[in-house]
Amino acid sequence: MNIGAAAARSKLPPKTIRYYEDIDLLRPTRAGNGYRDYSDADIHRLRFLQRSRSLGFSIEECRSLLSLYDDEHRASADVKAVALEKIGEVERKIAELQEMKATLSRLAECCHGDGRPDCPILDDLAGRSGVS
C-alpha cells in the first residue's frame, strides 16, 4: 500500500511516517517504480510507535522497545524495566509540575490583581522578591 493508505490505517501523518523511515524505525520495501510499499507488518509497527509515543516514550526508547518486540528471545523483565523507568520519569515530572503549580499559586495569592503597576509575580520572575 502507498503512504496515503498507510497514513490512514496507522492514523499517523505521512510526514511522521517518512520521519520514522529516515531514522530507521521503519523500513518499507520499495516498489519497482521506487515508491514506498507498506505492508500490514509496517502498519502494525507504525501503530506500535504511535502508541509508544502517546505514552511518552522518546524516539530512542521506542527504538529500544521495538528491538525488544522484535527479539523473540527477550525477557519480559527487560520490557518491564523500561516501563518502570518511564513510570519513574513520569512521577518526577508530576512532582515538578505540582511544585510549579504551588509556586504559581503562591505568587498569584500575593498579587492584588488591580490597576496598580506593582506586581509581585513580575518582581519574583525578575528575581526581586522573596515570595516563592
Burial class (CB in 10 A: 0-12, 13-18, 19+), 105: exposed
CA angle 84, 89, 91 (to 5 degrees): 95
The domain ranges of the chain are 1-74, 80-132
pLDDT in tens, 71-127: 999 999 999 999 999 999 999 999 999 999 999 999 999 888 888 888 889 998 898
Amino acid of residue 25: L
pLDDT in tens, 24-68: 999 999 888 888 899 999 999 999 999 999 999 999 999 999 999
Nearest to 88 by CA among 61, 59, 49: 61
pLDDT at 129 over 80: no
The CA distance from 61 to 87, in Å, is 13
Sole residue written with cell 525477557: 75
The CA distance from 27 to 53, in Å, is 18
Q: What are phi and psi of 12, to 5 degrees?
A: -120, 145
Check whether domain 1-74 has CATH 3.90.1150.10, yes or no: no
Asked if 10 and 43 touch (Cβ cutoff 8 Å), the reply is: yes
Specify the pairing of strand 36-37 against strand 29-30: antiparallel
